[in-house]
Amino acid sequence: MLAGQIMTERVVTVSPDTPVKRATKLLAEHGFSALPVLDDDERLVGIVTEADCVRDRVPPDVRTGAKPGHPTPPRTVGEVMTSPVTAMSTTADLAELVSALLDNNFRAMPIVDGQKLAGIVTRGDVVRALSRDDATIARDIRRKLLIYGGADRWTVHVRDGVATIVDEYDDETDRHVATVLAESVPGVTHAETLWRTVDS
């Protein structure tokens, strides 16, 4: 799968001049964990997360024995955002994107086309793709294979996201292509293409 296949294209964004209060409101209203930050030319220049918006913004409560006084918190997104920001292209391998999310403890990855924001992939987007039901996944695999050998050539079974494809013909190259096509379908965790032997 590629990042562009599961990304959310309609992305809520902010600018470096956006008040942190406004960014916090957007995160809360939409249930997001991060917002891409774009400059005046619509180029991706940073990302602001929930953590960025809450850091140093809650004053200590003197009733707990804390000392009074608290520094004035940053006012704009540009003061708290992460920049430069890690981003990936629409053609990035989703497996690599997931590794980047997990290895860096990111909750969202901006997706770019050149310097322009194309979308965003969150952990939730990946979970939704992996949670697709097996019947839907099998239907999508059959649709891809329809243009590669016809409807009657392939038998497709999917269980728990694992796809097994049976080929009527003994052609190793075609089986490889079928496997690659199946693994490009959102929700497929593994695919294998077998030859239907005479005995089977």
Question: 105-164: per-residue pLDDT in tens?
Answer: 999 999 999 888 999 999 999 999 999 999 999 999 999 998 888 778 999 999 999 999
Helix (H) or strand (E) holding 190: strand 190-195
Q: What is the mean predicted confidence (pLDDT) over 35-46?
A: 94
Whether 26 contacts 35, CB under 8 Å: yes
**134/161 Cα distance (integer angstroms):** 6
Q: Which is it for strands 34-38 and 44-49: parallel, antiparallel or unpaired?
A: antiparallel
Which residue would you say has higher pLDDT here, 168 or 77? 77
Tokens 């997104």 correspond to: 77
Strands of 57-189, DSSP E: 88-89, 108-113, 116-122, 154-159, 162-167
Residue closest to 157 by CA, chosen among 178, 142, 139, 138: 138
Instruction: Fill in the DSSP letter of residue 119.
Output: E
Query: Binning pLDDT at 50, 70 and 90, where does residue 198 land?
Result: very low
d(CA 99, CA 109) in angstroms, rounded, equals 11
**What pLDDT is stored for residue 72 in this prediction?**
81
- Domains recognised in the chain with CATH numbers: 3-130 (3.10.580.10), 134-195 (3.30.1340)
Phi, psi values for residue 63, rounded to 5°? -65, -15
Phi, psi (degrees; rounded to nearest 5) at 165: -115, 130
